[in-house]
Each structure stands twice: as C-alpha cells, then as structure tokens.
Amino acid sequence: MRAEVAVHTPASLGEGPTWDPVTGRLIWVDILGSRVHTYEPATGRRTVMATEQHVGAAKPRAAGGLVVNLRDGIGRYDADGAYSWLLRDPVPGRRGNDAAVAPDGSLWAGTMRYDEAAGGGALTRVTPDGTAQTIFPSVAVSNGIGWSPDGTLAYYIDSPTRRIDVCRMEGQLPVDRRPLAIIEPGAGFPDGLTVDADGCVWVALWDGGRLRRYTPRGALDRTLPLPVSRPTACCFGGPGLRDLYVTTARTGLSRPHPLAGSVLVVPDAGQGLPGVAFAG
C-alpha cells in the first residue's frame, strides 16, 4: 500500500476526515484555519466554508447540513447554510477538538486547552436536543473516538497518554476503560482513529509519520509509512468504503514537507464501516 495525494493544500491543522455517503464527499476541517472543507473524489469538486471560530470537527446531520465542534461549543449548519448554536459553553483558553457520531446518533465531542494542559479538556456526549453529559472529565488532548462493528466497544485517545483505550459499552455510555495499545516513546503520539470492518483500529501517529493498525486484541499487525511527519486522522471512504483518507498538519514545523497539510489517500486499503449521521 502506498499513500497518494487526494487534495494538495497547505492546511495548518487538517483534521477529522469523515465520509458522507449521501453526497459522496469527504468532509474535513482545518482547525486553526477555521475552515470546513469538502472533496468529491468522483468529480474532483472541492468546497471551503469559513467558520467564525476554530473548528475541531464537522459531521453530517441526518436532516442535512453539518454539526460542528467549535471553540465555544456545538453548532449546527442547516442544508441552506443557516447557523444556530446547539450547545454554547465557552471556557477561556479552551477549544473543541476531535468528535465522532455514536451508533445512537449522539455526538461525542472532545475539548482541549490551547496550551494542552493536563485536565483542561473533556469528552462530552451531546444529544440532538443539546443535552450534554460528560463521559471523560479531566483529559489533556481529547482525540480519536470510534466503535467496534457491533457497537459493543468504544475506543478513545487522550494523546499525551500515548494510549489507545478501549471501553465496554453499557447502554449508551462506556465503562471499564483500559488500554488496548500503548505507543512506545519515539514512535509519535496517537491522534485520530478509525475502525474497519474487521474490528481493527487504524490510528494516525502525530510526529510518527505513519499509520498503524491494531487488532481487537491490541496487536500491531500493519504499519503504513507516510511522506509527512504529522498525520492527524484517517477514515475510509470512496466506492465501497475501500479507500483510506488521511488528514495532515504543518503547524509547528519549521521546515514542513511540501505535502504537509494535504489530504492523502491509500487506495483499496481495506474495508471501512458505514458512518452514522448526527440525529439532530
């Protein structure tokens, strides 16, 4: 397998790739650029939408439009572009980061402090009516979130811990959190993740320049080197959910690779899982 360039662009902090099967397009964000991007592989068409705040994630809504994890809370864009707050919760020095839609249609949204201070962020479950429930308090850099194919397990990353954690789902909430795998020093920090149809977890290694795939038992069974040092997240998309898309970053690099910030793609990398749209 070899990574190719899907979208050549100098995003500062590209993140959160999500495949929208309804529109046949990839959605991702440039967090520090306050932009939501889309890309249609079938046509090459791209769009860019500016947001009023730093945007950690953007996910499709069942009603059309997008739900976004912003600096000051959770917002909604309707299909016609109209904006409204779903949950406004501003905290000085804090912003939204990675997010994911759970099998039940709720949004699990992470936060972090700009200075990445320990305990400054959290992972929160937000329902379509805007009700918020803290899942994990006191995290540093809330990142990758995903579920097993049958929905019985949840995966989560707080990047500075170097762990990919796994939890058992009890109803709509995770319990019994424990490490599935630990990234060794010098290999980078775990960032965004996706789960494939085999139940394996793909994780992007920030400052590690590669993707790794771990089995449901936590064994490393595949490594994919990349041309950039800061991959941030990945997801399956394209025809049959066979292509693996990877967002990347150039922020903080004195001499970034020419492809840093671009979206990469690994054709026919495996078999992805169908996504769920936010129910609100």
Catalytic residue chosen out of the listed positions 191, 198, 207, 243: 191
> What whole-number distance in Å separates Cα of residue 37 and Cα of residue 199?
28
Which of 181, 265, 269, 198 shows the shortest CA–CA distance to 231?
265
Whether pLDDT at 48 is above 90: yes
Amino acid at 14: G
**What is the average per-residue pLDDT within 76-80?**
97
Burial of 167 (0-12, 13-18, 19+ CB in 10 A): buried
CB atoms within 10 A of CB 29: 32
Can you tell me the distance from the alpha carbon of 16 to that of 30, in angstroms, rounded to the nearest whole number? 9
Mean pLDDT of 31-47: 98
Q: How large is the average pLDDT for residues 269-280?
A: 97
Mean pLDDT in residue range 23-40:
98
Q: What is the pLDDT of residue 226?
A: 98
Average pLDDT over residues 179-193: 98
Distance in angstroms (rounded) separating the CA atoms of residues 14 and 235: 13
Contact 42, 255 (CB under 8 A): no
State mean pLDDT over 167-188.
98
Sheet containing 263-266: order of strands: 4-7, 263-266, 243-248, 231-237
Task: Mark whether 243 is an active-site residue.
Answer: no
Higher pLDDT, 43 or 1: 43
pTM over 0.95: yes
Contact 76, 89 (CB under 8 A): no
pLDDT for 1 beyond 90: no
Query: In degrees rounded to 5, what are phi and psi of residue 160?
Result: -65, -20
